[in-house]
Structure 1
Amino acid sequence: MSHTKRYFEMLGAAYEVPSATDRFDAFLDSAIAYFFESTENGTLAEDVPRHHGTDDMLDTHGARISKLLDEALRREISLEERFHAVLKVSARAGRVTGNAAAAQLTGQGFPCTLDELPLDTAALGEIRKTLRAPAHQAQDRIILANVEAPQIRPCLALIQRPGEADDQVHVSLSYIDWPPALMGRLREAFGLTASESEVLEGYLGDLSQKEIADQRGRALETIKGQFKSILRKTGCARMSDVVQLCASIAFLMRHLPERANRPAAAEWVTPKAGLSLLPRPGRQLAWYRIGNGPRPVLFIHGYLQGPFFTPAFIDRLNEAGLQLVAPSRPGFGYSSPSRSRSDFNETVVADALALVDTLGIERLSLCIHQGGASHGFRIAKALGDRLGAMLLVGGGIPIDETRHLSHMDRQTRFAAIASRHAPSVMKMVMSVGLPVYRKRGARAFLEKQFATAPGDLATLDDSVLFTVQAQGLYHAVEQGGEAWVRDGASAMADWRADFEAVNARQMWLQAQDDPVISAHQVAAYLEGRPNIGCRILPGHGVNILHTAVDAIMAELVKLD
């Protein structure tokens, strides 16, 4: 397929996202196909574009699509807020009325009789029970009801007997979705294992025990045992009670004020704990102090993990008498952007030196994380005699397209090539993708990032590790996608001269299962170089910063 055809297919796919946000993944696939002849081994198309500057036409399309997407998301939220089906059931008149949303959900014309409502028998029985009860004794009930037209849809039903309407029962119906975020909350609330959570999700999806067993490839007796475990952990006598309990939690999560229901890590806001601001000419530099020890180490963060650490890691820093001084690069977190793409690298270095001077640090070591490697070596070169030793955690090396791309996961491969050859494509993907993932949530973004890395994917089940990773994501996109575009281009530039100019003692800790860059390729690049050590740590991946704490701390204390 020609470059021109791939270009217009990508553009067409981008324009489809505002009409249905679930089409973003198809757009991303087309953007990847724009560059690669084969997405399996990272073979670049012979006519791959090499626009080192901006593509004004593509930037214009990207801005237009972003506006369309923002409008579509606002309309979607508005529709979600309006979609609240309410039925009013009168015992005296023997009829049911409903609002437009109720008519849409049930497919029923109003008024009608109670028997004409397409609700399951149990739900109708609960409504009749509430109608028969004296008004002063009627209690609000939340139940799971099935709307059986035109297809069976499980809904939450809130049954109420308003005090001002003795003759009426009000039924509020809300369609239930069991997304990963809600299932995660249920799993956490009940203390379920991952397997039990999947069984519960199947049951909530109206599957029988046999259907769940067949779907999961397990023996029926195994599934029955997991049902018993779910009952024991939830304190329920019957699975129908478990369903009502889950429905109640879902109802609360949907109807309480949104901010009250979200965990702190679910807010797309960069944390401010430990944050300081340093005025710069026409800008500001945001930086974090992690730990309270007397020995400072300059920490140059990667992309997603950012300058955030688990409480246990911070405790270890304090015990070792260390503190990490972590500047946010221009456009990340609360640091002002660089004035242009062309002066991004220069601004990063100038910010770091200004911070070190302001803090009065005469000599310090560096800890450099993943995609911060190119910046770290530029800063190290500029520090000159003030530089101590260096620790690199999952550090990157100058990228060679012919050797390194095939070992990257597809998304990293795309980001690398788009940043190097067509930054406007990268900017469009970011500007279209960020609103989509703000809606889907941080977990969905990280699951996509770790799709080919089972070990990293498993870290999302640890609430502490998930929190710091989500915070790193927010830090990377606090001001939009432009900073990511500039940073990616910097990492993909040829920074071999900066690497060669630094003679400080270095230790590299590389994750064996890192899908971003091959640990063995890094080791091969470093082999034979004086004053450089390298260890490959098995069992670790992209999240090595948070999962290899013992190894990292052992090297941090050695820095001079």
Structure 2
Amino acid sequence: MPEKRFDDDRIVDAVYDSALAPQRFDALVRAWDDVFVDSQIDKAELFLSKARNTLSRHFERADQIFLSTQNVQHHSVQDIVDSEPTSAFITDTKGQIIASNASATENLCISHHMNVHSLPLDAKSETQLNTLLKQMASKRDDAQTLAIRGVNQFNNQAFVLVAQRLVNTAKHAQDSTLILFKSSLVTWHSGIEKVLANAFELTSAEIEVIESLNKGLSLKEIAQQRARSLNTIRTQMKSILQKTETQTQSNLMRHVTSLLLVANKLEEKQLPISEPEYGFAEFPLKTINTTDGNTIRYRDYGKPKASPVLCFFPVLPSKQHASFIEPFLKRGLRLITLEEPENLPLSFRSKKDEFEHYLRCFNELLTHLKLKKVVALGHCVGGIYANEYAKRFPEQVRAVYCVDTGAPLQSQTQWEQMGKTARRTFMLAKNFPSMLLMPHRLVAHRFFKSKDGQEQVINYFYADNPDDVKNIQGDVRLKEWALNLLSYCLRDIKRPIRACEMWVQNWYPTLAQVLETIPVFFIHGDKNQQFSIDDLHELADRHERLSVAPANGAAQLTLMTHTDLIALLIAEQCYLDASQEQALSSQL
């Protein structure tokens, strides 16, 4: 068989074709595979090292071309607002309204040539609106949501404004900063009472205070209306602010306005407000500010005295499916999930300080929650995060569990046995990760464009494990989970690229250091074609504290298909540790 001749011309042609016509992305994949993935690993990497500068420049230019084509809008401003199902209007950065639809005219009394500042808003809302216009003008934000309140003819009505910056509309190409406002009026709904009670443990009296505030009444007026002393109402108000973790009445009412919008949508769809045994409303997204001024967003699933499990899920949002949560809560576990911090760098390798800061954020959260020992649970690349955390803060970690993480990549054999889709991505992540930006942008474009695009992206991401594709198509719950994962990843394409960068590093030294004092458990699909379970068994033979639990019949979906197994193993470990600690305490 003649030796393969490496030629990058076909790749260069394909990358520009894809930028101009995203539907040709498959041709780029085939060209890349022909040159690199279907070749011997060492020879392909040698060629890539020589051609990387040339190829990276072409990928960067193609990326710029693709972005420029996506920013062109071919509709008139009136077409845009008329296509919106809710009240919508478009302004320039000074707030001058240049287009509005019939719903905006009817519900918000908006007309052409009026200024958005003419909307009768309360003082706080007016300030927020001014700030938003300035941010849009300086292009610091592409989209923003405001929960604001009106006065006068709006009767203290609450409503939500979603602002989105538009670029290069046909009629107003000379003004590249137009702002599309979408608005939804929200009214008090009986369903909000259950949401407030479940989410914040508010009493019926406290909820009545909030309802009165929503009507625009002052604390003094509420006291008079309810025949209570002003001190009593103030005490209830103080309790409300503490329970909802808000600082002022204004912040509280903006938060309530957002919840009202959800309740209104449920009413519009005529859906009953019913919750599973462990509903999402019980576990709202919470925030804390770190000592260095950053913000941590997290969800805390479970009872305060349950055994805590800190979840490292960098490719999943903090909001988890109820069917995933329930097995943990039923076994007396408490799941703590985080949203990945925003604005992290593309490369951890060049900016390790940011990654260490990310891990410190986890530790600050545990301090805030007053937790001394946790189980660290990592999914996919999150298993590496969990081990890194255990290495830096060993006194905080009881055990580490890695689901579908795989063994550290230490040999060429592992690369050769890797599934084609994984090898295609990981090879670039290892050698030149910035070249992954343009392909991931094309994949994101396909995913968010249509349902057919979503199906194609699912098939692409899980191509190494055909059984997973089949299971996703045949199980509504699995499909919802897969779409949730892909949507979260592709909204910020740097997120999956950072994950791939972490994966291709040899993180074995970290694992070995953790295993000196902390047990590590790998729960891995026995059909996983990305990372062979055999490599994990070999590691287990060398390390006494490393254990492998095969997830029979699973590939890349172990977290959802074997949730019961994961929860059971963690609960058993927590029970064992608690028994040992109790025995030690009694001896002392």
Coarse TM-score class (shorter-chain normalised): 0.5 to 0.7
Contact 1:36 1:45 in 2 (8 A): no
Cα distance in 1 for partners of 2:71, 2:14 equals 18
CA contact (8 A) 1:55 1:424 kept: no
Q: 2:481 aligns with which of 458, 461, 468?
A: 468
What stretches of structure 1 of length at least 5 have no aligned partner?
82-258, 261-270
Q: State the distance in 1 between where 2:525 and 2:547 align.
A: 14
Question: In structure 2, what residue type is equivalent to 1:472?
Answer: L
Residues 46 and 71 (structure 1), Cα distance of their counterparts in 2 relative to 1, 3 Å cut: same
Pairing of 1:495-534 with structure 2 (within 5 A): 495-502=507-514, 503-534=517-548
Describe the SS at the equivalent of 2:573: coil
Match of 1:547 in 2: 561
Gaps in structure 2 of 5+ consecutive residues: 81-267, 270-279, 575-588
SS in 2 for 1:436: helix
Tell me the distance in 2 between the aligned counterparts of 1:398 and 1:447.
Answer: 26
Q: Which residue of 1 aligns with 2:454?
A: 442
Note the alpha carbon deviations across 1:25-67, whole angstroms, 9 max, x for none: 111233344533528x897354232899998735631431332
Judged with a 3 Å threshold, the aligned counterparts in structure 2 of structure 1 residues 71 and 459 are, in CA distance, closer, same or farther, namely: same
In structure 1, what is the Cα distance between the partners aligned to 2:51 and 2:375? 37
Structure possessing the higher relative contact order (Cα contacts under 8 Å, 6 or more residues apart): 1
Amino acid at match of 1:420: K
| Distance 1:488-1:339 versus aligned 2 partners, 3 A rule | closer
Show the counterpart of 2:369.
359
Looking at structure 1, the residues matched to 75 and 465 of structure 2 have their Cα atoms a distance apart, in angstroms, of 33
Residues 296, 324 of structure 1: 8 Å contact kept? yes
2:376/2:399 contact within 8 Å kept: yes
Deviation, 1:340, is 6.3
Change in Cα spacing, 1:9 to 1:51, as seen in structure 2 (3 Å) is closer
Distance in 2, matches of 1:54 and 1:467, equals 40
Q: 2:416 aligns with which of 406, 420, 423?
A: 406
Measured in 1, the distance between the counterparts of 2:54 and 2:313 equals 26
Q: Using the alignment, how far apart are the partners of 1:43 and 1:547 within structure 2?
A: 38
SS at match of 2:554: coil
SS of aligned partner of 2:542:
coil
Q: What displacement does 1:392 show?
A: 1.9
C-alpha displacement at 1:394, in angstroms? 1.7
- Mapped pair 1:337 → 2:348: no
Tell me: CA distance 1:43–1:289, structure 2 relative to 1, closer, same or farther (3 Å). farther
Q: Distance in 1 between matches of 2:331 and 2:20?
A: 54
Select the residue among 492, 495, 500 that pairs with 2:504: 492
What CA distance in whole angstroms lies between the structure 1 residues aligned with 2:513 and 2:51?
A: 29
Aligned ranges 1:51-200 → 2 under 5 Å: 57-58=57-58, 60-71=60-71
Query: Aligned pair in 2 of structure 1 residues 531, 339: CA closer, same or farther (>3 Å)?
Result: closer
Aligned residues of 1:54 and 1:423 also touching (Cα < 8 A)? no
- Report the counterpart of residue 285 of structure 1 in structure 2: 296
Cα shift readout 1:98-146 (whole Å, capped 9, x = no counterpart): xxxxxxxxxxxxxxxxxxxxxxxxxxxxxxxxxxxxxxxxxxxxxxxxx
The 1-side partners of 2:527 and 2:540 are apart by: 18
Contact 1:510 1:537 in 2 (8 A): yes
8 Å CA contact retained: 1:508, 1:535? yes
Q: CA 1:366/1:408 → structure 2, altered by over 3 Å: closer, same or farther?
A: same
Report the alpha carbon displacement of residue 543 of structure 1 after superposing the two structures with TM. Answer: 0.3
**Equivalent residue number for residue 453 of structure 1:** 465
Q: Does 2:334 match 1:323?
A: yes
Contact kept in structure 2, 1:300 and 1:327, CA below 8 Å: yes
Aligned residues: 362
Partners in 1 of 2:500 and 2:401 — Cα distance? 21
Q: CA deviation at 1:2?
A: 6.0
The residue type paired with residue 429 of structure 1 is P
Residue 533 of structure 1 deviates from its aligned partner by 1.5
CA distance in 1, matches of 2:529, 2:302: 30
Contact in 2 for aligned 1:24/1:436 (Cα 8 Å) = no
CA 1:516–1:42: 2 relative to 1, 3 Å = farther
Q: Is the 8 A contact 1:452 1:515 kept in 2?
A: yes
Could you say which residue in structure 1 is the equivalent of 2:242? none
**1:418: Cα distance to partner?**
0.8
Q: Structure 1 residues 57 and 477 mapped into 2: Cα distance closer, same or farther (>3 Å)?
A: same
- In structure 2, the partner of 1:310 is 321
In the alignment, which residue of structure 2 is the partner of 1:139?
Answer: none
Q: Relative to structure 1, is the Cα distance of residues 288 and 69 closer, same or farther in structure 2, using a 3 angstrom cutoff?
A: farther
Residue 10 of structure 1 corresponds to: 11
Of 342-351 and 354-363, deviating more is 342-351
Residues 291, 49 of structure 1: alpha-carbon distance in 2 compared, 3 angstrom cutoff: farther
1:16 to 1:58, Cα distance in 2 relative to 1, 3 A: closer
Task: Output the amino acid matched with 1:16.
Answer: D
**What amino acid maps onto 1:57 in structure 2?**
R
CA gap of 1:76–1:493, structure 2 versus 1, over 3 A, is farther
Partner amino acid, structure 1, of 2:333: L
Distance 2:319 2:54 in 1: 32
Q: Alpha carbons of 1:34 and 1:345: their partners in 2 closer, same or farther (altered >3 Å)?
A: farther
Q: 1:300 aligns with which of 308, 312, 316?
A: 312
1:408-462 deviation per Cα after TM superposition (whole angstroms, max 9, x unaligned): 2211112211111011221221123211222144332112222342321123221
Contact 1:511–1:539 under 8 Å retained in 2? yes
Deviations 1:212-262 (A, max 9, x none): xxxxxxxxxxxxxxxxxxxxxxxxxxxxxxxxxxxxxxxxxxxxxxx99xx
Deviations 1:149-202 (A, max 9, x none): xxxxxxxxxxxxxxxxxxxxxxxxxxxxxxxxxxxxxxxxxxxxxxxxxxxxxx
Distance 1:276 1:290 in 2: 11
Residues 65 and 34 of structure 1: CA distance in aligned 2, closer, same or farther (over 3 Å): farther
Distance 2:433 2:567 in 1: 37
Query: Which secondary structure state, in structure 2, belongs to the residue aligned with residue 368 of structure 1?
Result: strand
Name the SS for the 1:390 alignment partner. Answer: strand
Supply the distance in 1 between the matched residues of 2:343 and 2:364 (Cα, whole angstroms): 15
Secondary structure, counterpart of 2:528 in structure 1: coil
The match for 1:557 among 571, 575, 578 is 571
| Alpha-carbon shift at residue 559 of structure 1 (Å) | 3.0
> Kindly tell me: are residues 473 and 277 of structure 1, through their superposed partners in 2, closer, same or farther at Cα, counting changes over 3 Å?
farther
Query: 8 Å contact 1:310–1:465 — kept in the other structure?
Result: no
SS in 2 for 1:329: coil
Question: Of 430, 433, 455, which aligns to 2:443?
Answer: 433
Describe the shift of the 1:315–1:77 C-alpha distance in structure 2 as closer, same or farther (beyond 3 A): farther
- For 2:551 and 2:75, locate their aligned partners in 1 and report how far apart those are by CA, in whole Å: 46
Could you tell me which residue of structure 1 aligns to residue 358 of structure 2? 348
Could you say which residue in structure 2 is the equivalent of 1:164? none
Matches within 5 A, 1:27-46: 27-38=28-39, 44-46=44-46
Which amino acid is the alignment partner of residue 415 of structure 1? T
8 Å CA contact 1:299–1:368 kept in 2: the answer is yes
Change (3 A) 1:399 1:481: same
**TM superposition shift of 1:402:** 0.3
Q: Which aligned runs of 4 or more in structure 1 are off by greater than 6 angstroms?
A: 50-56
**Taking structure 1 as reference, are residues 411 and 368 closer, same or farther at Cα in structure 2, changes over 3 Å only?**
same
One-letter amino acid matched to 2:553: G
Decide whether aligned partners of structure 1 residues 507 and 402 sit closer, same or farther in structure 2, where only a CA change above 3 A counts: same
CA distance in 2, matches of 1:396, 1:403: 14
1:201 matched residue in structure 2: none
Q: Note if contact 1:377-1:499 (Cα within 8 Å) is conserved in structure 2.
A: yes
Question: Can you list the C-alpha shifts for 1:351-389, whole angstroms capped at 9, x where unaligned?
Answer: 222222222211111112121122111101111222102
Give identity over the alignment, percent: 16
Is contact 1:10-1:27 (8 Å) kept? yes
Q: Which whole-Å CA distance do the structure 1 matches of 2:54 and 2:355 have between them?
A: 17
Shift of 1:21: 2.5
CA gap of 1:353–1:58, structure 2 versus 1, over 3 A, is farther
Question: Does structure 1 retain, via aligned residues, the 8 Å contact 2:288–2:297?
Answer: yes
